[in-house]
Structure 1
Amino acid sequence: MASEQDDFGPPRDEREVAAVIDILMHSYAMTPEDCAGWKQRQDLGNLRLLREQGQVAATLGLLRMGQWYGGRSVPVIGVGGVGVHPVFRGRGTATRLMTNLLREVRAEGAPLSILYPATQPLYRRAGYELAGGRYEIRVPMGALDLGERGLRLRAIEDSDEAAIAACYTRLARHREGWLDRGAFSWNRVRNPRTEKVHGFLVEGDAGVEGYVYLARRPLKDLKFELALTDVMATTPVAARRLLRFLGDHHSLGTEAVWYGGPDEPLLLLLREQDYSVRLYMHWMARVLDVAAALEARGWPHGGRGVLHLEVEDDLFPENQGRYVLEVADGTARVTRGGEGRLRLHVRQLATLYTGFASAQSLRAMGLVQGDDATLEVAQRLFHGPAPSMRDMF
């Protein structure tokens, strides 16, 4: 638990930045070359350090971005690069680091935080819980021979970036949990750390209808796999054209590989279902402000319901207590009070919020308490496609 005496904040000088790099080398086996590239890309103002005995004991990076829920972009704080120096491990340093961060960003008004965990118990202590998955999709080249070349395909230019971002948003806003990308996330798509990416788009009468960013990842004997950092299509003809373009690499290409959700739309067009979809990593979410988070997301249009909640939160007393959630026509209003018919910890609220697990499943495992009628309301309000994410951060 954080204390008033914790020395927490951004780096003060180059000496502390060097200490962060040292922690990253210990924590993530980063090479000096990796660290040089990291420093060049990093906004040092987004680093947070915890100091003990005058030394940098732990570090993390935060990223202010958006995440789509119910068709609305919810402001979220992404957390990454969490590391503790070896000599400060085993004394609660990482927990105190996370607690300080969460208090800072909640005070700023952030309703939600997300991260990819290297270890889940640490983040559960801070109030995070499993909330979605990132899935690896592999399609053999032989499955991509779709014979569609109707739309024009060309290399992406810098002037296309706004149209491509709009193309992404048209689809991503309907995918629960996907990022509402900013400059950082788009840079990860177009300029990953270790590979050269090439971008291509397809155009129709209305402009950009789809695009792909890909790297050719070498294998043995001149073979390679196509590693897609992003691929989107807003029309069926664009989807078939992009799949045909990927299939044109069949002479030396083995597979096309990308990330997303288990319900990847492009897979519906394949003639044979011989692809693989496997869980690559779970991500976790933390509700920072119960009322703000519930009011920020979108809800089923035309649906109505009233849910009485009672929330427990070990870190934020402000979140403790009873709430009435009233949903109508795609929006929510949250007030204090009510009957507390659905009782749950803030961790389980995160799982319910994203749609990762239903209220019925949570009750079956003893993680929430509520009567059948209350759980039916929760199911109706929170039910939707499985939450996933394409991007790492």
Structure 2
Amino acid sequence: MSDPAASIVSRASDRHRDAIADAYNQAFGFQPARSHAYIEQVGIGNFRIFSVGEQLAAVMAVIETGHWLGGKPVPAINIAHVAINPIWRGAGLAGRFLEQVCAEAAASNIGLATLFASTRPVYRRAGFALAGLEMIYEAETSVLPRVRGGRFVRLEGEPAIAAIEALYRQRCIDDAGLLQRSPAHWASLMAGNTAVFVSAVAAAPGYLVLDTSDVECLVVRDWAAINGAAAAHLLTFLGTFSSVYPRVRWHGSPQDALVFALPDKGWRLMHQEEWLARILDPVAVLQARGYSADGVLGIDLDAAGTDIPLALEIRDGQGMCTTGRTGLPTIRIALGDFGTLVTGHRSASFLARAGVLTGDPAAIRLCETLFAGPSPWVGEHF
């Protein structure tokens, strides 16, 4: 076995395709065809290789993106499908790999790293905090409205993406946590047997991306309803599939518009999982995200025993952040827990009751107001 000290992290190239496919077979049981299809969707240049000597010891996908917070996209990386070679498991490679990838992102002025964790302790030790939700709902198509003649247009290829991107962006502005989708995200979303339907009713703007490959369940790959009329309009269109599909399934938010618009019972929550975030550059993140209120707040971050004092001033929803001690109302929180506050996944008062955040009552109330907004979620698993 090679010395792990003689390791290097590099961007993958075409010569690594078979090695990555083998790593995913060893780690996740992926068959070669599935691995190569995933590599093609993501793009070989979006993989990072951890090599020990001449051996591929670990691999992960690193996709540049953003998470919409407060109506603005915060530059981020999604870390996905982290695979460790079986002979290197337990050697601490995952932590070292993450550190180098996060350092690379921070050097490129990216302030946030996010992922889904199969084993949370590893990522919590690496500074990741619970930051938002993935939720999957399911409903019986028999409970959906059965209004015929819904006005939708079916689109394909690039025109389909062009038509729905603007609607998706509007949804991101109104919501929280959603991804600033990269070409890799769009390629994954549109792969396979999908069909895009866009509402033709001006007063009900929205769309559906449907996967019709499973006759037992109609899968909504993606959707947007810009208002309540659009949510009802989407449901009436989904109801036209009731003679073929007994169920329909979709990713949704904690305050889900389709659930709210359903005319009756018959829906259920099928899956819920939290995604994690690590703050790579707190100043960059605080200045990139948007805010629903103005104010001035001091934030003391504890970074493994080293204090990072910040002053956050918000005017017209735009944050300006500087370092240094202030006489402002101040809250204190560990840098490793800061992600859950920044995304709005947990409020300042909740974190104070949990013993994670401290500060005088006025500072906590102000912090609560500044970071208020919709509960963060994502519409895809990365």
Q: Secondary structure at the match of 1:173?
A: helix
**CA separation in 1, counterparts of 2:99 and 2:173?**
30
Aligned to 1:322: 309
Aligned to 1:383: 372
State the Cα distance separating 1:254 from its structure 2 match. 1.1
Aligned to 1:265: 257
Give the one of 267, 272, 275 matched to 1:275. 267
Give the one of 300, 319, 341 matched to 1:332. 319
Asked if 1:63 corresponds to 2:63, the answer is yes
Asked if 1:250 corresponds to 2:231, the answer is no
What does residue range 1-393 of structure 1 map to in structure 2 within 5 Å? 6-11=7-12, 14=15, 16-147=16-147, 149=149, 152-158=151-157, 159-191=159-191, 195-205=192-202, 209-218=205-214, 223-300=215-292, 303-314=293-304, 320-339=307-326, 341-393=330-382
Q: Against the structure 1 CA distance between its residues 39 and 183, is the aligned structure 2 distance closer, same or farther, given a 3 Å change threshold?
A: closer
The superposition leaves residues 248-289 of structure 1 with CA deviations (integer Å, 9 ceiling, x where unpaired) of 121231111011212111222222133112543210111110
Q: Secondary structure at the match of 2:200?
A: strand
**CA separation in 2, counterparts of 1:11 and 1:153?**
42
**CA separation in 2, counterparts of 1:4 and 1:341?**
42
Amino acid of the structure 2 residue aligned with 1:204: V
The superposition leaves residues 142-177 of structure 1 with CA deviations (integer Å, 9 ceiling, x where unpaired) of 22125264x522321332431211111112221110
The normalised TM-score by structure 2 is 0.92
User: Which runs of structure 1 show a deviation greater than 6 angstroms over 4 or more consecutive aligned residues?
Assistant: none
Amino acid of the structure 1 residue aligned with 2:154: A
The superposition leaves residues 55-96 of structure 1 with CA deviations (integer Å, 9 ceiling, x where unpaired) of 111111111112111011111111111110000010101111
Q: Give the number of equivalent residue pairs.
A: 376
**CA separation in 2, counterparts of 1:205 and 1:341?**
47
**CA separation in 1, counterparts of 2:240 and 2:151?**
15
Q: Against the structure 1 CA distance between its residues 17 and 161, is the aligned structure 2 distance closer, same or farther, given a 3 Å change threshold?
A: closer
Contact kept? 1:133, 1:279, Cα under 8 Å:
no
State the Cα distance separating 1:324 from its structure 2 match. 0.8
Q: Against the structure 1 CA distance between its residues 281 and 233, is the aligned structure 2 distance closer, same or farther, given a 3 Å change threshold?
A: same
* Unmatched 5+ stretches in structure 2: none
**CA separation in 2, counterparts of 1:6 and 1:379?**
44
Amino acid of the structure 1 residue aligned with 2:376: P
**CA separation in 2, counterparts of 1:322 and 1:245?**
53
State the Cα distance separating 1:236 from its structure 2 match. 4.1
The normalised TM-score by structure 1 is 0.90
**CA separation in 1, counterparts of 2:136 and 2:55?**
40
Q: Against the structure 1 CA distance between its residues 226 and 124, is the aligned structure 2 distance closer, same or farther, given a 3 Å change threshold?
A: same
* Unmatched 5+ stretches in structure 1: none
State the Cα distance separating 1:184 from its structure 2 match. 1.7
Percentage of identical aligned residues: 29
CA RMSD of aligned residues (A): 2.2
Contact kept? 1:327, 1:333, Cα under 8 Å:
yes
**CA separation in 2, counterparts of 1:128 and 1:390?**
20
